[in-house]
Structure 1
Amino acid sequence: MIIAVDGPAASGKGTIARALASRYGLPHLDTGKLYRATGLAVRLSGGDPGDVAAATHAALHLDPELLDDPDLMSSDNAQGASIVSAHPPVRAALLERQRVFAGQPGGAVLDGRDIGTVIAPHATAKLFVTATPLVRAQRRHRELAAKGDSRDLAAVLADIEARDARDSGRSTAPLRQADDAALLDTSELGIDAAVQRAIALVEQAIAQAHSLDGQQQV
């Protein structure tokens, strides 16, 4: 069973994906971390995330230890990750790694921006998790404030909107809801309510898949 969870930054998709992985006993991959690690590798080498060649080289020779680097989830690194993720050669370099994870025995849960459209279009269940830009900015602002980051809400909102534009406007694997993905808007939902709604949507997808299998066997 493969569960694909897509959505923009700070929509809650990571929290939901981890909860689903725990619920169904499946391994989980936050695919955004691969792009964050790539962006971080470029920064550590003194390169420019906008340099396609440098970013592609970093993706092809990605050091797994960077996935645990303390700077991986910083707001500064998020911008670099968003930039490198727009390069088609970078996405191609990381594509197979994600598909192998999705295809392991028993299945997996993956969250990102192109899981249901590119990485695992055959996923058993697909969710597209979203929320309004302002709500997402407020969530990210609270996270940053808790870490001692003093930037104001307006700056965080501008970053969110810029990332949305890059993610949705890139030529390769843009952020979009798959035609067969269930929409989950978390703007007015707390964490527990969002997770319960996600579980209900996955259960519906599983039941539908079983129904189709039964019809094919008949």
Structure 2
Amino acid sequence: MKPELIVAIDGPSGAGKSTLSKRLAAALGYLNLDTGAMYRAVALAASRKKVDLSDEAALGRLAGDVSIDFIRQDSGERVMLDGEDVSQAIRTPEVSLLTSRVAACAGVRRAMVELQRQMGAKGGVVLEGRDIGTVVFPRAEVKFFLSASAVERGRRRYEELKARGLLVELEQTIVEVEARDAADSAREHAPLIQAEDALVIDSTAMTIDQVLQEMLRVVELRRRQAGLAGPVAGADR
């Protein structure tokens, strides 16, 4: 039996990668690996342990020492850091700003890329991040690059944080999204770059459901081309 596909979803912060990777994985019956959450978990650990973010050797050691896992629950996948559920703790604005600096560390990226490759090696996975299709799995059978305007991504982030009861300002949130874009694109190690063979989907004027349907159409086409006819076992249609 042929192995299922590796689906890579890249794009800037706030483009909808996390939401769509979860929904796409659920529709296909695939495992969802939120690679951005992994870097956020390292950033949270660095903050808690008061690791100097300019000390790349210390950050690399930390990334190699922490345990990061994903646990499926009816309410969704939970992110575990050294056995603790940090699914909410890693989504604060403070951790978001720290994550770009932590993810720019070569030692951290080496540790996370190795872990991501181990998790996704057998296929049947959806991975999302900023370098999945270019660095982690450059030979992934399906690659998407999700995009949206900085203003729209900032608005989405603002609404998300506001719904959690956090005191945030729309203009400041947009500024933070733009700052994250600049940091991700300019970093020395594995900067945010669109893979040449990735399908670009600009979701600025699209709903989540519209983007999901387009992604499903592309994945099913690639599955047929790979000789994987019929629905995926366990897929929730």
Give me the TM-score of the superposition, normalised by structure 1: 0.90
Q: What does residue range 8-157 of structure 1 map to in structure 2 within 5 Å?
A: 8-64=12-68, 65-66=80-81, 68-69=85-86, 70-104=88-122, 106-157=123-174
Superposition pairs for residues 137-216 of structure 1, below 5 Å? 137-210=154-227
Cα RMSD over matched residues? 1.7
Contact 1:133 1:160 in 2 (8 A): yes
Q: Is the 8 A contact 1:125 1:206 kept in 2?
A: no
Unaligned runs of 5+ in 1: 212-218
Match of 1:215 in 2: none
SS of the equivalent of 2:174 reads: helix
> Given that residues 10 and 17 in structure 2 are in contact (C-alpha distance below 8 angstroms), is that contact kept between their aligned partners in structure 1?
yes
| Counterpart-to-counterpart distance in 2, 1:209 and 1:83 | 39
Equivalent residues of 2:61, 2:107 under 8 A apart: no
Q: Which has the higher strand share?
A: 2
Q: What are the ranges of 5 or more consecutive residues in structure 2 without an aligned counterpart?
A: 69-79, 229-237
Q: Does 1:7 align with 2:11?
A: yes
C-alpha offsets along residues 125-173 of structure 1, whole Å, 9 cap, x if unaligned? 1000110000000000001111222221111111111111111111211
Amino acid at match of 2:108: V
**TM-score normalised to the size of structure 2?**
0.83
More deviation, 158-167/66-75: 66-75
CA distance in 1, matches of 2:27, 2:54: 39
Contact 2:9 2:17 in 1 (8 A): yes
SS of 2:33's partner is strand
Task: Give the partner amino acid of 1:23.
Answer: A
Query: What is the aligned-residue identity percentage?
Result: 40
